[in-house]
Structure 1
């Protein structure tokens, strides 16, 4: 089935996980083949879901550190995550197979607010409220590089892992050669907007042409990844409380999904900004929403997790 206005408008909850969490889901990630979804919650739990069977496959708790910003590595049994407490800023490399930490990554001196795994290599980047971006390698606990930003930095890789992007206030995006980041950014974009904005997440489209930026306001930006031009903004959702609300592309880049504080998920045409669907079903803020990279389904989370599938037959 193709992703179209009709199929998106028909999406309904195919599976609802009501009892798995007793606090909001703060992050989620699909494995690259679409077969697994991992979630992290403010109740200090990690849940692994089998997409093919629609079942909870494993539950792990991180009572000591809490868990946030969960990301799959290149192995479906290993994840990266950040702490979520008031005393530890380390990043951790966790084996889901036997619930053992394979490595700790220490260096940040304040809360980590952004984490991105390279799509091609065993490297990753992190951004922290200590106003630094750090580069790491899964194979060693030693920090491989550090960039000092003068604001809360949000980080991302492009789909080929060649470009390292940082979003910093005020309204600024900097792009680096991932292998020569120490030479400084090869381009800098300044986003024109009526007010200074605080970025909360940044994602490249699968074709590498666009960058999606969420903010603490009810505004999501779509910019051209080559020249920084603002192509579209999406505003028909609720974010009155400076919430961190995730937005994501569909795999074909044709649509953008975003969460909302009123318990809905909004879907827009990427280039025109036209809203094609609003999915209702959550009873509180939808902080996480992603489309499966390989299958015709999406996932969204408040304190409950919903799997969305089309309700029309494959034409």
Structure 2
């Protein structure tokens, strides 16, 4: 069995992707998933208050923890492969812990973070230090340090905020009302944004932002079911794609590690792949799980994960099954 490298991706390999593992032991929707940057691990959260840790190299569930008191919504890994940051779903308006720093190794909460008054809808960790960011329906973006309980910085804005660090940790992007993207220097964000991008003609809320690994492109997924790839330096639209409406489910899209392809869910229950250089559709698959609300490509493997209500799937090239 030959293992395909992420540097070898081409249209044929993308088209050959199929389900290599399926997990259906969730109750309710899977809220979020995240890959560790360097370890072969994936973490998920679900409406059943579960946090689950998977070995992606072997397609195995390693551990499940339940969080009945706080719930489990957004999630992302820290640098340590057994530590995650998880947002809460309960008692937020009473000033409860909106974010928790959890050890999956021994199921302990290492630190609580209070501040947000409504649900956290976007969460990301810095790739270079102990900083992380959260965007909430309370119209704030908060900047934190894993080592300190207190919030390190607050950005107040209009609309539903989405946050993302670039892969070098030097810049972060924040979306706000009217489809605007503001870019900040991570080291001096208190001076305000150094640039603002708009996707011409589309003022829909931006549900998700991702930077490509080389930092040259940004991927936006909007409430209007449009997907855009922007030049991360000047905001110029490189290409745009549309998918079927998904009125009850937000969809997610993802770059491949080489930044040459975009994969996305769709309201019709399919998954789609496009080539960025040619701006053409390369593949269309039946997701076999309905509308995929969570979708991410593994950082170092030819593999992506897609999840929906009750089901998580790992997709790999069929020559490795």
Q: TM-score range by the shorter chain?
A: over 0.9
> Does the alignment pair 1:114 with 2:119?
no
Specify which of 117, 122, 126 is matched with residue 134 of structure 2.
126
Q: C-alpha distance in 1, partners of 2:84/2:61?
A: 17
Q: C-alpha distance in 1, partners of 2:267/2:71?
A: 23
Specify which of 203, 213, 216 is matched with residue 206 of structure 1.
213
Specify which of 248, 256, 264 is matched with residue 250 of structure 1.
256
Question: What is the Cα deviation at residue 152 of structure 1?
Answer: 1.5
Contact 2:18–2:317 (Cα < 8 Å) also in 1? yes
Structure 1 residue ranges (4+ consecutive) displaced by more than 4 angstroms after TM superposition: none
Question: What is the Cα deviation at residue 147 of structure 1?
Answer: 1.1
Residue pairs, 1:54-93, within 5 angstroms:
54-85=59-90, 87=92, 88=96, 90-93=98-101
Q: TM-score, with normalisation over the residues of structure 1? A: 0.95
Query: What is the count of residue pairs matched by the alignment?
Result: 311
Provide Cα deviations, 1:164-209, integer angstroms capped at 9, x if missing partner: 211111121111111101111111112212x421111101000101
SS in 2 for 1:307: strand
SS in 1 for 2:178: coil
Contact 2:14–2:282 (Cα < 8 Å) also in 1? yes
SS in 1 for 2:318: coil
- The aligned counterpart of 1:224 is 231
Question: What is the Cα deviation at residue 272 of structure 1?
Answer: 3.0
- The aligned counterpart of 1:51 is 56
> Does the alignment pair 1:312 with 2:319?
yes
> Does the alignment pair 1:155 with 2:163?
yes
Provide Cα deviations, 1:263-295, integer angstroms capped at 9, x if missing partner: 221111123331111122423220111111111
Q: TM-score, with normalisation over the residues of structure 2? A: 0.93
Specify which of 26, 31, 35 is matched with residue 26 of structure 1.
31
Contact 2:97–2:113 (Cα < 8 Å) also in 1? no
SS in 2 for 1:294: coil
Specify which of 197, 205, 220 is matched with residue 204 of structure 2.
197
Q: Alpha carbon RMSD of aligned pairs, Å?
A: 1.6
Residue pairs, 1:36-47, within 5 angstroms:
36-47=41-52
Question: What is the Cα deviation at residue 86 of structure 1?
Answer: 5.5
> Does the alignment pair 1:3 with 2:29?
no
**Cα distance change of structure 1 residues 171 and 89 upon mapping to structure 2, 3 Å threshold:** farther
Between stretches 140-149 and 255-264, larger displacement belongs to: 255-264
- The aligned counterpart of 1:215 is 222
Question: What is the Cα deviation at residue 313 of structure 1?
Answer: 6.7
Q: C-alpha distance in 1, partners of 2:89/2:40?
A: 27
Question: What is the Cα deviation at residue 89 of structure 1?
Answer: 6.1
Give the gaps of 5 or more residues in structure 2. none
Specify which of 160, 178, 184 is matched with residue 176 of structure 1.
184
Give the gaps of 5 or more residues in structure 1. none
Provide Cα deviations, 1:99-132, integer angstroms capped at 9, x if missing partner: 1111111111111111110000000011111111
Q: C-alpha distance in 1, partners of 2:111/2:149?
A: 6
